[in-house]
Amino acid sequence: MHGPLSAAWLLVALCAATGAYCLLRLRSDVEEQRRTAGGEALMGFGMALMAVPAAVLTPPHWAWLLYATVFGAAALRALWASRTGTHHLHHLVGTFAMAYMAVAMAVRPEAHAHHGGAGAPALTGALFLYFTAYVLWSGARLVPATTTATAAAGTLAAGWGDRPELAQACRLSMGIGMLAMLLTM
């Protein structure tokens, strides 16, 4: 039990740190950064809460319904925003996955509350494949195409909230976190 418990705490820390950086991005002077930072902070902190080990905290039934409502509303917002840009489609899939996992946790019997097997296997598998592809794609985008000196010279003036490579790394870490959460379903 020590292995899975420590892995769960690492996931909590990763997601909380990602959410905190996304809050920092809300202070950015770049409008595109601010526009997506709030939703990504919600995802990061929501994933951190959902990843807290059940041995430490078992949320009541109504908490899962609250998570499902919040992320369902965020999915509707992402669906509305996707009319103007395809970037929001990833947010739509992510918020839908969070709402799906919360509903799966809310409807499963208490006797099996911490032993996996929740959700529809086909939908869980499809979401797992999507996030696997997303993690591989976004990880490949982080590989620098220029020399380190050129890249460092271009980012010295940027503030912490205006660094697109950090925002991409946060999205990558949330994708990895989502894969870990889907594996436990």
Quote the pLDDT of residue 141.
86
At residue 151, does pLDDT exceed 70?
Answer: no
Quote the pLDDT of residue 176.
93
What is the full DSSP assignment across the chain?
-HHHHHHHHHHHHHHHHHHHHHHHHTT-S-HHHHHHHHHHHHHHHHHHHHHS-TTT----HHHHHHHHHHHHHHHHHHHHHTTT-THHHHHHHHHHHHHHHHHHHHHS-GGGTTSS--S-HHHHHHHHHHHHHHHHHHHHHTS-SS-HHHHHHHHSSS-GGG-HHHHHHHHHHHHHHHHHHHHT-
User: What are the tens digits of pLDDT across the range 153-163?
Assistant: 454 455 665 67
Quote the pLDDT of residue 172.
92
* Residue 89 CA to its chain's centroid (Å): 14
87 or 73: which leads in pLDDT: 73
User: What are the tens digits of pLDDT across the range 30-71?
Assistant: 777 777 888 899 999 999 999 888 888 888 889 999 999 999
At residue 93, does pLDDT exceed 60?
Answer: yes
At residue 145, does pLDDT exceed 90?
Answer: no
Quote the pLDDT of residue 120.
82
